[in-house]
Amino acid sequence: MLEIVVLVFDSGDEESPSRQLRLGFDTHGRMLEIVVLVFDSGNELIIHAMKARPPMLDLLP
């Protein structure tokens, strides 16, 4: 889904699956925000994906 990942926020939960917010660019150069569930097995499931909203862009360094 993301060609280049710019930023990853982990929820810090000890539970499985953990939740991550990822910001990055797709193959067309659009900035996207996605939420991914990361399981202990290493499998990942995208549960949210959309064009990055201004509050998410404010998280970038």
Residue-number span of the structural domain to which 41 is assigned: 4-57
Predicted local distance difference test score (pLDDT) of residue 53: 96
> Is this structure's pTM higher than 0.95?
no
- 2-15 pLDDT per residue, tens: 888 898 989 887 88
Number of domains in the chain: 1
Burial 40-58 (b: 16+ CB within 10 A, else e): eeeeeeeeeeeebeeebee
Beta carbons within 8 Å of 7's beta carbon, 6+ residues apart: 22, 23, 24, 59, 60, 61
Q: If you search the block for the tokens 């939420």, which residue do you land on? A: 35
Per-chain mean pLDDT for the chain: 91
Predicted local distance difference test score (pLDDT) of residue 2: 82
